[in-house]
């Protein structure tokens, strides 16, 4: 049998020293935990929690973004369709309006042309009338000068009528 | 940031360990004493060289941790906090699966204490002046400091505390009934075997439980002597290598190599210091895990 007491004595084992070393170790462990490791472990746990919640939040945001993206795409598609319809209807309306305006303006232009023609004809007649009377007067005056006689009223009318006839013939020609 | 810090820290520690002032018991021509020596006494209590160093290093550990965490702990860690966090995270990754989630929160602070205590006691045991600074009394050299883990009192104290911690955490996590079932309980399924075989197995498990009790008590011896043996053996190795280099100093051609001989063994001892602290912590966690992680294993 091994003499345990002798063996322990050989290595200087003493219960006082055992007790001191045990207490010393427990005290160091307690102080290390209380003033060192506890706060580090807490911070590590807090960081892990924050990372986890951050990742969960990021995941949630990703899902929300994807849902928003889908709804945005759908909305854009519907708005695009609506816009196309509006543009199409506007085009149709514009076409109709254009035709309407064209017709109106054509009508207006026709009216203006016809009234202008009438005015021109009127002016032409007036002018012809004036020219006729002028020419008649000239014919009478020239005839008086050539004949060196004062023409009577009947003769004047006769010359005027013949001048008018001559002008009308010329005009017809 | 940490990639740069660890090699720097290692180099600083290596530099301290390998400084030219390094000396050990060999410088005084004596072997390393198997027991610590009393330097002074307070009443009936003798204060030994290992206790003095334990106190100094205990204060140093607390100071180092407080220094690393100066300015308080933050979500975005400082360099010191990052170093401590990386060690804690590394240990957590290894220990958590062994102990199980249930017991981890209450056991981990204790295991952290063990790891840092043993690690720094081991590493600081290699510093210059430890074992070489002392006085000559009656022709014999008495060092002021002795590496704490090369004193059986320290390692035995750690083993005894670990044993009680095993019991405390076991009762807290599994209860007395759980521990008793783990040691003596019949683990066979009653519905799957006949009652005669089941009864026989009960007797067998009781006998195995008694053997298990002896093995549990032997853990105190195995834990304490493993750590003590490695540290004390390392001290002796360095002592012998230094003695060998002292012989070489007298030989003209190879005398310049004398100081280089202990060098590789300091690296070896540095490695052993880290490994032993890890082994002690890991074994303690395995012992606690065997009781506390019982349900997890069963579910697994």
* Residues A4-58: tens digit of each pLDDT: 778 788 888 888 888 999 999 999 999 999 988 999 999 999 999 999 999 999 9
Residue B259 clears pLDDT 80, i.e. is over it: no
Q: Which residues contact A166 (CB under 8 A, 6 or more apart)?
A: none
Q: Taking the CB of residue A43, how many other CB atoms lie within 10 A of it? A: 19
- Looking at per-residue pLDDT, the higher value among B21 and B74 belongs to B74
B7-31 pLDDT, tens digit each: 444 444 444 444 433 344 434 445 6
Total domains, chain B: 1
A17: closest chain B residue by CA? B153
Instruction: Give B87→chain A minimum CA distance, Å.
Output: 11
The parent domain of residue B170 ranges over: 2-16+24-299
Which residues share a beta bridge with B143? B134
A42: closest chain B residue by CA? B73
Q: Do residue A37 and residue B109 have CB atoms under 8 angstroms apart?
A: yes
Residue B126 · residue B266 · CB < 8 Å = yes
H helix intervals, chain A: 4-10, 15-32, 38-147, 153-172
> Cβ contacts (< 8 Å) between A16 and chain B: which residues?
44-46
Average pLDDT score over residue span A91-111: 94
Residue B4 clears pLDDT 60, i.e. is over it: no
- Interchain contact A35–B (C-beta under 8 A): yes
Q: Taking the CB of residue B168, how many other CB atoms lie within 10 A of it? A: 14
Q: How far is CA B81 from CA A39, A142, A164, B16, B67, in A?
A: 10, 135, 129, 23, 9
Q: Do residue A32 and residue B114 have CB atoms under 8 angstroms apart?
A: no
Let me know how many helices (H) and strands (E) chain B has, helices first.
Answer: 8, 4
Most B CBs within 10 Å: which of A35, A36, A42, as the mutation test of the B interface?
A: A36
Candidates B74, B116, B153; nearest CB to A32: B116
Please name which of B284, B280, B288 lies closest in space to residue B99, comparing C-alpha atoms. B288
- Interchain contact A13–B (C-beta under 8 A): yes
Measure the N-to-C terminal CA separation of chain A; round to a whole number of Å. Answer: 168
Candidates A33, A40, A46; nearest CB to B85: A40
The secondary structure of residue B130, as a DSSP letter, is T
Please name which of B190, B191, B195, B166 lies closest in space to residue B178, comparing C-alpha atoms. B166
The parent domain of residue A11 ranges over: 4-172
Residues above pLDDT 70, as percent of chain B: 87
Q: Describe chain B by its helix, strand, coil percentages, rounded to 5.
A: 70, 5, 20
Looking at this predicted complex, what is its ipTM? 0.82
Distance in angstroms (rounded) separating the CA atoms of residues B241 and B247: 10
Total domains, chain A: 1
How many Cα neighbours within 13 Å face the side chain of B160? Answer: 16
Q: Residue B296: what pLDDT?
A: 52
Most B CBs within 10 Å: which of A9, A22, A26, A45, as the mutation test of the B interface?
A: A22
Instruction: Give B48→chain A minimum CA distance, Å.
Output: 8
Q: Taking the CB of residue A171, how many other CB atoms lie within 10 A of it? A: 9
Residue B60 · residue B120 · CB < 8 Å = yes
């Amino acid at each position: 049998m091994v003499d345990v007491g002798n063996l322990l004595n050989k290595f200087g084992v003493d219960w006082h020293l055992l007790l001191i070393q045990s207490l010393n170790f427990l005290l160091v462990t307690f102080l290390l935990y209380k003033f060192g490791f506890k706060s580090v472990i807490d911070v590590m746990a807090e960081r892990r929690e924050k990372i986890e919640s951050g990742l969960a939040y990021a995941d949630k945001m990703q899902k929300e973004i994807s849902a928003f993206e889908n709804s945005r795409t759908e909305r854009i598609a519907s708005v695009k369709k609506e816009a196309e319809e509006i543009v199409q209807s506007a085009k149709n309306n514009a076409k109709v309006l254009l035709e309407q305006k064209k017709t109106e303006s054509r009508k207006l232009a026709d009216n203006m042309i016809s009234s202008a023609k009438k005015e021109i004809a009127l002016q032409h007649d007036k002018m012809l009338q004036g020219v006729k009377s002028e020419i008649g007067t000239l014919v009478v005056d020239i005839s008086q000068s050539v004949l060196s006689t004062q023409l009577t009223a009947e003769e004047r009318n006769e010359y005027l009528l013949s001048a008018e006839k001559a002008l009308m013939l010329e005009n017809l020609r | 940031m940490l990639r740069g810090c660890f090699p720097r820290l290692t180099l600083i520690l290596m530099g301290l360990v390998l400084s030219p002032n390094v000396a050990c018991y060999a410088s005084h021509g004596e072997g390393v004493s198997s027991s610590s020596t009393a330097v002074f006494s307070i009443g009936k209590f003798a204060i030994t060289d290992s206790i003095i160093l334990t106190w100094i290093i205990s204060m140093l550990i607390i100071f180092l941790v407080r220094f690393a965490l100066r300015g308080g702990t933050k979500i975005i860690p400082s360099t010191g906090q990052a170093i401590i966090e990386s060690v804690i995270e590394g240990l957590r990754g290894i220990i958590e699966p062994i102990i199980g989630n249930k017991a981890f929160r209450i056991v981990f602070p204790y295991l952290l204490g063990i790891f840092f205590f043993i690690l720094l006691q081991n590493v600081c045991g290699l510093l210059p002046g430890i074992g070489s600074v002392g006085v000559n009394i009656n022709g014999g050299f008495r060092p002021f400091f002795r590496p704490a883990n090369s004193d059986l009192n320290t390692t035995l104290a750690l083993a005894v505390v670990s044993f009680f911690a095993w019991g405390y955490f076991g009762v807290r996590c599994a209860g007395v009934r759980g521990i008793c079932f783990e040691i003596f309980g019949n683990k066979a399924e009653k519905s799957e075997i006949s009652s005669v075989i089941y009864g026989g197995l009960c007797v067998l498990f009781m006998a195995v439980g008694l053997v298990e009790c002896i093995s549990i008590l032997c853990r105190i011896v195995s834990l304490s002597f493993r750590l003590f043996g490695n540290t004390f053996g390392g001290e002796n190795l360095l002592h012998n290598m230094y003695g060998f280099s002292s012989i070489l100093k007298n030989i003209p051609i190879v005398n310049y190599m004398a100081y280089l001989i202990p060098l590789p063994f300091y690296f070896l001892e540095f490695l052993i210091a880290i490994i032993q602290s890890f082994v002690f912590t890991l074994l303690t966690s395995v012992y606690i895990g065997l009781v506390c992680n019982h349900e997890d294993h069963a579910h697994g």
